[in-house]
Structure 1
């Protein structure tokens, strides 16, 4: 017998469903009401009640009808906003009007590129030969998965001689990659396939005869907390049956290689070295464990491993050339310094400092034939330094105030290629030449014919609760706030030491043309000022993340840039903590809230497949203090019964492998059931998308149109108000 309330699925008017009033014309359709089945849990002296715990089970018979009903309701409401359709048309023109090149690799005599042609949905893989002609190797735009869902390229890597490419692809943004090999000369796909190849790309042997590839354990169960644990790094030789591949590294395989269950083993060879590295990558941590051995010994199945460093040594970056291993060390220098060790006699204690710590945090390093390149951070904008072969350290002058989105180098070639972008500079692929000490635009990624001169970016500082100065950037048309506060979509992230670097999304122009503005807050938990900034917004100090966000919003309001009645805040993925707790802390400060595939129920991540890998970032619920921190950052548990919250749109994708859909679903159900909640609460659900990685251009355009239309609607912008 069950006493649970029957789920009212479907999007039609439902007797007994709680009314969420906001426009008379929208009252004819209501969201489905979730069944209430409270689960009371006590842990470490903290008692919580979860009325929607059942949503954690995607096989629950009520889940799919509920998700479909919520999705239909949200779709109806968003499509009723008068200006939304025109907004999406404009966004589509901005996003798809010009060909875009995302990644490149120089290998042999070939240049490989991932290209999204003008108007295309997804990227394809092309090769440019020595004659300069380009041809398509792989085009997912011409492929379909089961039920007609789209296919995306998740990762790829060309062999050093340029003769082969190994790639991973998956359906519907699921990131469930299957690896395959293409022969470049004729475009033929070889017979070998590699299931569960989620942690690409593959890393090739210097002689191009095979590659190392990490794959999930064949005992992995999708959806379980153990799903990503005990993965295996295999050596595959071309033409070999994958069943005969060599197990090179995994948990428990070797006593010296003391990998943990959650560490992902990756073998990293170098084209100019007889050594290779074994990396232990622990979930989302920047710190890595490293072992070294001769490449010949690894290939023969008899490596003599030497441990270089453990997680506690705080090594956050590496580069290998010959017998020299370069490491970014943050143990004694939180902003990072570069040390070098000789792998002939490897000992971290005898490491030689080659790049001292400075005021600018070191974010990454890479080797080219002319020296070592060091990527640095300066409060958002990024820069570059170069250590020449003769030991001379110099600063490289950037072409503009830029964000560095990728670096492509090769130990056999001088200089580097970089993907650069600015707040109001189009993204492009630039080449740095050490011979001339200058950058030049390669022209590989065409510049859109879009005039950016009507727009501007300005950087401000807000004072946080503890007095810390928090930077934020506002992007707008030059006259946006001339007549008073403007509709604003504010964004923050604040996790994993990821920085708020300059970048431009052309889709923003559509909302700015309607008088809207954008704000991006560099809250603590990110990496804008290095490890200290990150540690100040992590676990026990996570509250700084959402308090910094609130401070930036308050500062904008004080400057007259926007107002509480015109301000919508947004957080994506881990940024869901920032946006959700800002909402529950200061519900009076915002007109709207967008939680995009966000972590809204952090205290329960232990039950989802991506949970254990995130324990180092947010906390382990089996540890008392860390569980208290998780409850403190849990938006869902911090919703109060007697509060009226702003309008909310939670966004989720049914195939999301990183943040389970129940996060947004629980929050939506909780808010919709509140007695004082009169403003709309929407749960936007798509069933052929995941976390956003692998989404098609049209899917991204549609979501952007929804977010921008929602923001303008809640700000009262003319032309975006549903008719009464």
Structure 2
């Protein structure tokens, strides 16, 4: 297929004595207001969709994905005022609805169906919180996949909405004060008309809204000059905990004693380079887990009644990584990560070990939701071959029972999951999960996925997308490359800032391992990644285009010299560095995908995906990258740009749009790896 040459401009910038041409800067203009950019996007997207529509396996994948997504999704119940609140989608094809039960085994009552509240069919339920007495629920509506929220309130007894409508919430929690008279949330100033998708985080602040009052009367509680902040409430509503967060995973910490007026934030942690999470309280004592002074995590307490509150360790750092911890009943329930898999340990409130809890299998346990003094808790569990399920845990008896375990359209007993370890370029031992059918022996077409950033761990999780590929006889591999948090802060640091090349080396080494071990076929390896994972994929493709038959980068950063100029891009500086600082520039320019395209090598087939309402990673990254690839590479395989409409960075995207995009990706990958696709399940 042929896509005509994109217009090139003459923009050139000097970076510490290096002249960097930027011929596609004109594509940074807002496509909703610039007709020339809109026409370019339409032309590219139309060409991509025409190509994809002709792939014979596309309809098969779409049909099977719809069937595989067709299972119940339920979140762990939250108990307030003796009532149970949770979200449910009975068939997996609709927006999550907020449900209330008067008792755990009682009848469902739908409180919020986002289809009844949203302005269009693209609405989704986002953050929500029930008041301590269980009489009200405040909830956020996400429109069209953007990160913006509109917060509404519903009366639980009557089901009627309150008049309040809070706009421009973003990067927020919703947390009620202990008296139930109002709640805290975070928002930005109202952006200029037409600037909604490009607005930065300047002016982000925490507010308090009292029921029955207009948003204009909301009290500004806290703000940081450069970073977003969110607020949570613990201690039966007494303490407001303010987290000021950096994208790198660290956060500052402040606390407000809501029983003392006027409310005054007290700073407990000023720096934002390490994570701190308040897991609960007992009297004036807070319990926290942190990586400060312990890269794999530890548990500490601080007594706010002290004149100078001091952190005291009660559970020391372990060889395993502390993923989360909660106070439930009279115990600390802590989820540890061992080689990327979950293990649950119990402690008494003084930190003394109190045994372990048996999980349903080898996989990932979520945060335990419960309250001090109440032995009942709920948690999620999933694995690559176990769909997201909810279990009830009785802390007093240490017993686990299933509460909601969905059935799927594919017999998961046919699936084989194995964990392997492979050496990276520098000899580092890297774990990787491989998922395939038990009756399939390699080598077969294989998709290699990784994320590798911001300390986020790629733990076992169930994915209908993965099952759709595996069902057809392909293999799917997930590499736990450096930059994630699988082995603590050191693993994260080893793949960030000046060490970012390690992430690319780990990904490339994973691909080489899959071929050497005859898991992936010689011409059948596909690189896939979204967001930071797309940065990994695009950099790896530049460095080793010969390794891959196809590449599927989505919603990614590609112009690493100008990322800080787009939307909330400045927040990513702590992870990748600041291109306006010479030392960081020297590192970044060596791998920036836009600036390291290798025209002397044959590139794989590439399907680059983005979304027109992505407010986290601006679409112009993808526009400029594709334009440069199409100009510099003389392809024997297509380089396509697919732009999802009315969608964002992933969360909140309507399921039909998500399925359509995955079907296009898998059909593209199947075509270029010669995967045989059968329409029979």
Normalising by the smaller structure, the TM-score range is: over 0.9
**Secondary structure at 1:533 match in 2:** helix
Write the deviation string for residues 63-115 of structure 1: whole angstroms up to 9, x where unpaired. 1111111111111111111121122111111112x221135322112211211
1:83 pairs with 45, 53, 57, which one?
Answer: 57
Structure 2: how far apart are the matches of 1:427 and 1:225? 34
Is 1:392 the equivalent of 2:352?
yes
Q: Name the CA shift for 1:274/1:697 in 2 (closer, same or farther; >3 Å).
A: closer
Residue equivalent to 2:215: 242
Give yes or no for contact 2:76–2:378 (8 Å, CA) kept in 1. no
Match of 2:639 in 1: 681
Distance in 1 of aligned mates of 2:492 and 2:577: 15
Show the 5 A alignment for 1:284-683: 284-297=247-260, 300=261, 302-311=262-271, 314-321=274-281, 322-345=283-306, 347=308, 350-389=310-349, 391-394=351-354, 395-443=356-404, 445-448=405-408, 450-481=410-441, 484-674=442-632, 676-683=634-641
Within 5 A, what are the aligned runs for 1:187-266? 187-218=159-190, 222=195, 227-250=200-223, 259=224, 261-266=225-230
2:107 alignment partner, one of 115, 128, 133: 133
Residues 318-374 of structure 1: per-residue CA shift (max 9 Å, x gap): 2231311223343322212211110111646x3221101110111222222322222
Change (3 A) 1:480 1:226: same
CA distance in structure 2 between the aligned counterparts of 1:719 and 1:397, rounded to whole angstroms: 39
For residues 410 and 632 of structure 1, the distance between their equivalents in structure 2, rounded to whole angstroms, comes to 50
How many matched pairs? Answer: 672
Q: Distance in 2 between matches of 1:435 and 1:385?
A: 14
Q: Residue 670 of structure 2 aligns to a residue in which SS? A: helix
Alpha-carbon distance in 2 for matches of 1:313, 1:579: 27
Contact 1:40 1:48 in 2 (8 A): yes
CA contact (8 A) 1:220 1:227 kept: no
Shift of 1:391: 4.0
Change (3 A) 1:220 1:352: farther
| Deviation of 1:149 (Å) | 4.7
Q: CA deviation at 1:290?
A: 1.6
User: Structure 1 stretches of 5 or more lacking a match?
Assistant: 1-26, 251-258
CA distance in 2, matches of 1:313, 1:454: 44
Note if 1:161 corresponds to 2:133. yes
Native 8 Å contact 2:331 2:395 kept in 1: no
Deviation at 1:675, TM superposition (A): 5.1
CA distance in 2, matches of 1:668, 1:51: 13
- 2:243 matched residue in structure 1: 279
How far off is 1:226 after superposition? 6.3
SS of the aligned residue for 1:408 comes to coil
The whole-number CA distance in structure 1 between the counterparts of 2:42 and 2:112 is 34
Structure-2 change in CA distance of 1:119 and 1:214 (3 Å): closer
1:597 is displaced (CA, Å) by: 1.0
RMSD: 2.1
CA, structure 1 residues 273+123, in 2 after alignment: closer, same or farther (shift >3 Å)? closer
| 1:594-632 CA distance string (max 9 Å, x none) | 011112222211111121111111112222212223323
Q: 1:270 to 1:554 in 2, by over 3 A?
A: same
Deviation at 1:403, TM superposition (A): 1.2
Deviation of 1:185 (Å) = 0.9
* Contact 1:168/1:200 (8 A) holds in 2: no
Give the alignment's TM-score, normalised by structure 1: 0.89
Structure 2 length normalisation: TM-score?
Answer: 0.94
Q: Whole-Å Cα distance in 2 between the matches of residues 363 and 263 of structure 1?
A: 24
Distance in 2 between residues matched to 1:583 and 1:243, nearest whole Å:
50
Q: 1:177 to 1:600 in 2, by over 3 A?
A: same
- The 3-state SS of whatever aligns with 1:547 is helix
2:526 & 2:488 partners in 1: Cα distance? 28
Q: Please say which of residues 669-678 and 561-570 is displaced more in the overlay.
A: 669-678
Whole-angstrom CA distance in 2 between matches of 1:184 and 1:450: 38
Q: Secondary structure at the match of 1:374?
A: strand
Displacement after TM superposition at 1:582 (Å): 0.8
On the 8 A contact 1:308/1:346 being kept in 2, the answer is no
Query: Residues 276 and 288 of structure 2 are in contact (CA less than 8 Å); yes or no, is this contact kept in structure 1?
Result: yes
CA separation of 1:520 and 1:276: change in aligned 2, threshold 3 A:
same
How big is the shift at 1:119?
5.7
Q: CA deviation at 1:56?
A: 1.2
Unaligned runs of at least 5 residues, structure 2: none
